[in-house]
Amino acid sequence: MFGAFRPTQTNLVGLLWKTPWKLSRTRKANVRARLKQVDSVIEAVRASGVQCKALDQALELPKEHEMPPRDKYTVFSRHTKGYRKGIHKVPKWTRLTLRTNPKGF
Amino acid sequence: MFSATLRSRAASSASLQSRSLATAAAPSSSSSGEPLTHYRITLRRSAIALPMNIKGTLAALGIHRRLQTVFHRHTPDIAGKILTIKELVTVENVPESAVRTKWEQRQERKASRGYEVAGSKLGAEP
């Protein structure tokens, strides 16, 4: 039952990577920290006093404290049942802007 | 004296509360009356495997490696570039006097040599 040669799923079927269905508490805390970090960048640019289209668009994004948990940890997916999947299923998700979702979903 | 300690304590507790937004809160407090004219941009996250426009934006800002810091003036084009890569960098507004070139940043990082050259007898009158 124990030991290096125990019959686990990983040993029996070869390549088997499992992505958890939802984020752990720690990963969610890291998500929030990253969102706040991005908020601070936008705030710094706003405080500098320049005006540009990119800034207007960035200011329209919801801030971390304004976002519902649903938007922080999941994204819209048209293929998934319930139209939502974990945000960690999106490639490069920690370095992308994924704050808004289609209205009603 | 006592009130001064109290005030500093209150200030420190306020800074503790807003620690996550320290970069945002810093510009108003850190300046000593000097106008904030520059962005201090530090690359925190690598752009490996991100689209070419993101990598090109980093190159356009003069950033070539992680944790590199560059300074740029407050202009709309620089602001747009920062917002393109907002997930990768930390940004702070600093006055003109805080701007450092790459060489100056390197000199500030260096450890002191432990001695100072007071003078030289070479080339002096015998």
Over range A24-50, report the average pLDDT: 97
Strands (DSSP E) contained in chain B are 36-43, 69-73, 89-95
Give the position of tokens 């807003």: B18
Cβ–Cβ gap A50/B76 under 8 Å: yes
Q: Which H/E stretch holds residue A84? A: strand A84-86
Position B26 scores a pLDDT of 40
Cα–Cα distance measured from residue B47 to residue B65, given in angstroms and rounded to the nearest whole number: 9
Question: Which stretch of DSSP H or E encloses residue B4?
Answer: helix B2-17
Q: Which of B23, B44, B84 is closest, CB to CB, to A44? A: B23
Asked if B31 contacts B58 with a C-beta cutoff of 8 angstroms, the reply is: no
Which residues neighbour B65 within 8 Å (Cβ) at sequence distance 6 or greater?
B43
Query: Which positions in chain A touch B92 (Cβ < 8 Å)?
Result: 44
Nearest CA in chain A to B25: A44
In a domain, A61, yes or no: yes
Q: Does A66 touch chain B (CB under 8 A)?
A: no
Looking at the predicted structure, is the pLDDT value of residue A84 above 50?
yes
pLDDT of residue A1: 65
Position B25 confidence tier, pLDDT thresholds 50, 70, 90? very low
Residue A5 belongs to some domain of the structure: no
Q: Is pLDDT larger for residue B15 or for residue B61?
A: B61
Position A2 in a domain: no
pLDDT band at B3 (very low <50, low <70, confident <90, very high): very low
Rounded Cα–Cα distance for residues B115 and B74 (Å): 40
Q: Where are the domains of chain B?
A: 36-109
Residue that the structure tokens 């300046």 belong to: B31
Per the structure, the count of domains in chain A is 1
Identity of the amino acid at B83: L
3-state secondary structure B30-75: HCCCCCEEEEEEEECCCCCCCCHHHHHHHHHCCCCCCCCEEEEECC
For residues B29-52, average pLDDT: 88
Q: What percent of chain A has pLDDT over 90?
A: 81
- So what's the architecture of B36-109 in CATH? 2-Layer Sandwich (3.30)
Whether A36 maps to a domain, the answer reads yes
Q: Give the pLDDT mean for A49-71.
A: 96
Q: What pLDDT is stored for residue B6 in this prediction?
A: 43
pLDDT for res A59: 96
Predicted pLDDT of residue A58: 96
